[in-house]
Structure formats: structure tokens, C-alpha cells
């Protein structure tokens, strides 16, 4: 019995008592697997910064993944585009965060140069190297584009109806739909145009320089000249600026033609802009001295005083002196010749193509170079006096100045 009691006592002995008789070694660290770390490799002093999450970009009820390019389609509201090809929209969503830049063209269906500039940039940008998002709408007015015509089917100018109205005319409804579907997603906007009605424009940026954010935006286009212009009611760039989106008009050449001599420098200007906005890291634009942007505050269209055939004697970009002959008009019936001279010195920013004209037709657009500071001061003064506003391209045809459409709602 005494031996049995001893065995039972050992079975129920405390762990502490057993530990005294049978010591247990402490647990060992697991044996490392794989090669040892390289020598002199210091651990980071702080935690590594977490990369910013890039989410898909949403537009027109579609999602574009980071680092990809996607082609979308936009149709006017209320079935206005029934039977028409939809407007193509290219979205290039970068692999890294950044601003949203919109390139808009084809608001006037016969202005082909801007369409090609926007298309070219939208296809060449590498989304894997882009910081931010590029939205390209090269043909907004498909109605006019398919007919090589400036206007919409109701003969209205789409660029006089922004931001539009849900219950207005065809132009107002179309402007409303595009503005809310696309434009409101932009952080900055470039609207491409050309001269109107057989006129051509030297590549130039038109902007209201009284807005500080717009003025800063114009500094990104390299050596492309900038013309202060308050614009006309209903223009896309005015509606965009009114909602807080810096916007400019980029005039490029003449309508109905593809002019590579104007398309190429305009495309270069957009590449320079994207570099300045830190969207592209291009060696072609990196480093070097900052480019001084030519600023024009004063400009005026010189009009003809006779009917007949117009013959220009100056080219786009030419510097002209006071009283210099710009061209002449020949009356083919009487053979009478009428000279057209420069009313002040400046540079030829735009001109009418050689054609038949009537008295009063706008033939040559002359700009006077000024400093940026002076341009801003004079622009502010001009805002207070509407009579000092700089002319946009005249909208009259050479054969019917009074035949402009009635653009009132």
C-alpha cells in the first residue's frame, strides 16, 4: 500500500515540483531558411511611404483602368444624334495621379486642323508613363463634320450656346449634354478652332488674361503667341472658366483643310503644356531656359473698302509697319485697284484667303506685341469698357455680311 500511494503522489505532483527534478530547456528560435542577408544592409529608419492608390477613371458610365487607354462614345441627349455616328471620346488614364486635361475639337464641323491635333496627341501618349488623365474629344459636332459644315442641322453655331439648356434649342440641348457629361470632369481645357469662312489664323492661344488661373495656364504652351480676348457669350471656354476650369481657345490655320505646317507646331505646344503640368516627363522639354510667351493685347481686323478680288501680299506671322501695303482688291469689271494698308505696326495674326469680297469684309488681323504685365493691366481696363474688347474672328461670309444666323434663343 505504501508503494501504491507513492506512485499516485508522483502522478499528481505539481509542475513546479517536477520542473525541479526534470529541468526543461527554453524554446529555441527557428532555424532560418535560405541564404543569409547581404552584409552592410541597414534596416530602414522609417516605414516606407505607401504608394497612392490610383482608382479607375469614370466617364460616360464607363471605368478606365489606370495605365490604359480606352475609346468611349458620346451621344447628344434626347435622341438628337439618332442616325448619326456618335462622337468619339478617348480617355488616357495614367498609371500615376495628376490633373485631368481635356482637348476638345470639332465643335465647328469643318475645322479639321484641331481635330487632327487632338487625335494625334490622344493616340501617342503612353498611359503607363502619364501622370493624370487625358480626355480627348476630337469631333464634338458630328452633324457638321460628316457634312463638312460649320453649323448644326438647325444652322446654329454650337460655340455660342454653352453651357446650354436642357429645354432649349438643338444647339442648347447638345451643349448642355456635352458640358455636363464631359467638360465638368476637366481640371483644364483646350478648345481647338480655326479661322472662319475662308480665313486662316496663325497658331495662337486666345484667353481672358484677367483671370489669374487662365493667365498661368497660358504660360504652358511654349512660344505659341497669346492673344487676350474676352470672347463672346456662349463660347465653351467662357462657360468652362465660369465654373472654375481654366480654359483657352487654340486657333490653328484655316477651315476645311489639313495644314501640316500648322498642325505640327500646335501638337508640339500641347506636348509642352503637358510637360509643364507635370503630366509627361519628356527629355525634349526637360531643362533649358524658360520660354517667353509672346503676349498680344491690342489687335484689330483691317477691312476692305471695295468689292472685287482680294489678293494678299503678306503672310501669317509677318511683321508689318505703319502704312505698309497688306494687299489689294481688283474690281474685275472696271479693273479698278484699291490698296489695303496697315493702320498700325504689328504682326499678321490672321488673314482672309484670296477670294471675292465685298466692302467691309475683314481681310487682315493685325496684333500689337506687349508685355505680359501690360497685357493684364490693359485687359482689366478693357473689361470695364466693352468698347475696347478685342475682336474675335468675324462671322460674316464674304458675300453676305448681313446673312449671319440669328443666335438668340
Domain of residue 317, residue span: 298-388
The answer to whether residue 68 sits within a structural domain is yes
pLDDT in tens, 383-404: 555 444 455 677 666 554 433 3
Q: Say if residue 28's pLDDT is above 90.
A: no
106 and 251 share one domain: yes
Surface-to-core class of residue 21, CB atoms within 10 Å of its CB (0-12 exposed, 13-18 middle, 19+ buried): exposed
Positive/negative CA dihedral, 284, 285, 287, 288? positive
Residue 395 lies in a domain: no
Q: Which of 238, 255, 285 is the last residue of a domain?
A: 285
Q: Are 332 and 193 found together in one domain?
A: no
Looking at the fold, whether 209 and 350 belong to one and the same domain comes out as no
| pLDDT tens readout for residues 209-236 | 999 999 999 999 999 999 999 999 999 9
Residues 275 and 367 in one domain: no
Please give the Cα distance from 89 to 121 (Å, whole number).
13
For 113-133, what is each residue's pLDDT tens digit?
A: 999 999 999 999 999 999 999
Which of 261, 285, 309 is the C-terminal boundary of a domain? 285
Same domain, 326 and 177: no
Q: Judge if 120 and 38 occupy the same domain.
A: yes
Model pTM score:
0.81
Give the range with max mean pLDDT: 10-24, 29-43, 290-304. 290-304
177 in the same domain as 80: yes
406 is a domain residue: no
Which CATH number does the domain housing residue 152 bear? 3.40.630.10
The reply to whether 274 and 309 lie within a common domain is: no
Shared domain check, 222 and 339: no
302 grid coordinates: 483691317
Dump pLDDT digits (tens) for 74-117: 999 887 766 678 999 999 999 999 999 999 999 999 999 999 99
Tell me: do 267 and 305 sit in the same domain.
no
Paired sense of beta strands 225-228 and 295-303, if any: parallel
CATH number of residue 315's parent domain: 2.40.50.100
Q: Helix or strand or coil: residue 241?
A: helix
Is residue 182's pLDDT more than 50?
A: yes
Nearest to 137 by CA among 121, 158, 118: 118
The answer to whether residues 172 and 101 belong to one domain is yes
User: What pLDDT, on a 0 to 100 scale, did the predictor assign at position 20?
Assistant: 47
Q: What is the pLDDT of residue 394?
A: 74
Per the domain annotation, does 291 fall within a domain? no
The alpha-helical segments, DSSP class H, found in 28-97 are none
pLDDT at residue number 51: 60
The DSSP code sequence of 93-145 is E-SEEEEEEEEE--SSTT-HHHHHHHHHHHHH--GGG-EEEEEEE--S-HHHH
Nearest-10 crossing angle of helices 112-124, 260-276:
50
User: Per the structure, how many domains does the chain have?
Assistant: 2
Amino acid at each position: 500500500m505504501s508503494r501504491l500511494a507513492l506512485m499516485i503522489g508522483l502522478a499528481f505532483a505539481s509542475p513546479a515540483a517536477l520542473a525541479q527534478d526534470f529541468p526543461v530547456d527554453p524554446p529555441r528560435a527557428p532555424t532560418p531558411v535560405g541564404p543569409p542577408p547581404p552584409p552592410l544592409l541597414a534596416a530602414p529608419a522609417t516605414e516606407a511611404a505607401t504608394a497612392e492608390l490610383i482608382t479607375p477613371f469614370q466617364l460616360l458610365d464607363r471605368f478606365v483602368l489606370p495605365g490604359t487607354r480606352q475609346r468611349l462614345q458620346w451621344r447628344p441627349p434626347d435622341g438628337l444624334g439618332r442616325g448619326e455616328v456618335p462622337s468619339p471620346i478617348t480617355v488616357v488614364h495614367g498609371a500615376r495621379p495628376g490633373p485631368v486635361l481635356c482637348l476638345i475639337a470639332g465643335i465647328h464641323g469643318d475645322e479639321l486642323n484641331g481635330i487632327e491635333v487632338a487625335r494625334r496627341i490622344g493616340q501617342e501618349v503612353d498611359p503607363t508613363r502619364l501622370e493624370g488623365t487625358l480626355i480627348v474629344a476630337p469631333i464634338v459636332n458630328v452633324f457638321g463634320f460628316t457634312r463638312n459644315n460649320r453649323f448644326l442641322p438647325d444652322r446654329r453655331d454650337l460655340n455660342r450656346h454653352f453651357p446650354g439648356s436642357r429645354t432649349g434649342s438643338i444647339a442648347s440641348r447638345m451643349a448642355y449634354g456635352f458640358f455636363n457629361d464631359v467638360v465638368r470632369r476637366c481640371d483644364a481645357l483646350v478648345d481647338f478652332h480655326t479661322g472662319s469662312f475662308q480665313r486662316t489664323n496663325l497658331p495662337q492661344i486666345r484667353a481672358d488674361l484677367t483671370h489669374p488661373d487662365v493667365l498661368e495656364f497660358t504660360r504652358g504652351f511654349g512660344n505659341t503667341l497669346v492673344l487676350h480676348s474676352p470672347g463672346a457669350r456662349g463660347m465653351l471656354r467662357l462657360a468652362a472658366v465660369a465654373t472654375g476650369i481654366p480654359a483657352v481657345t487654340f486657333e490653328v490655320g484655316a477651315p476645311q483643310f489639313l495644314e501640316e505646317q500648322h498642325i505640327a507646331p500646335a501638337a508640339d505646344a500641347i506636348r509642352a503644356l503637358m510637360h509643364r503640368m507635370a503630366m509627361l516627363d519628356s527629355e525634349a522639354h526637360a531643362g533649358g531656359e524658360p520660354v517667353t510667351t509672346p503676349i498680344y493685347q491690342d489687335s484689330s481686323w483691317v477691312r476692305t473698302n471695295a468689292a472685287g478680288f482680294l489678293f494678299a501680299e503678306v503672310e501669317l506671322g509677318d511683321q508689318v509697319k505703319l502704312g505698309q501695303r497688306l494687299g489689294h482688291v481688283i474690281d474685275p469689271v472696271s479693273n479698278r485697284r484699291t490698296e489695303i494698308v496697315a493702320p498700325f505696326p504689328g504682326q499678321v495674326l490672321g488673314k482672309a484667303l484670296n477670294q471675292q469680297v465685298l466692302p467691309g469684309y475683314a481681310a487682315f488681323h493685325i496684333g500689337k506685341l506687349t508685355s505680359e504685365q501690360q497685357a493684364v493691366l490693359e485687359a482689366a481696363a478693357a473689361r470695364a469698357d466693352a468698347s475696347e474688347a478685342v475682336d474675335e474672328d468675324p462671322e460674316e461670309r464674304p458675300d453676305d455680311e448681313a446673312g449671319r444666323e440669328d443666335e438668340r434663343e
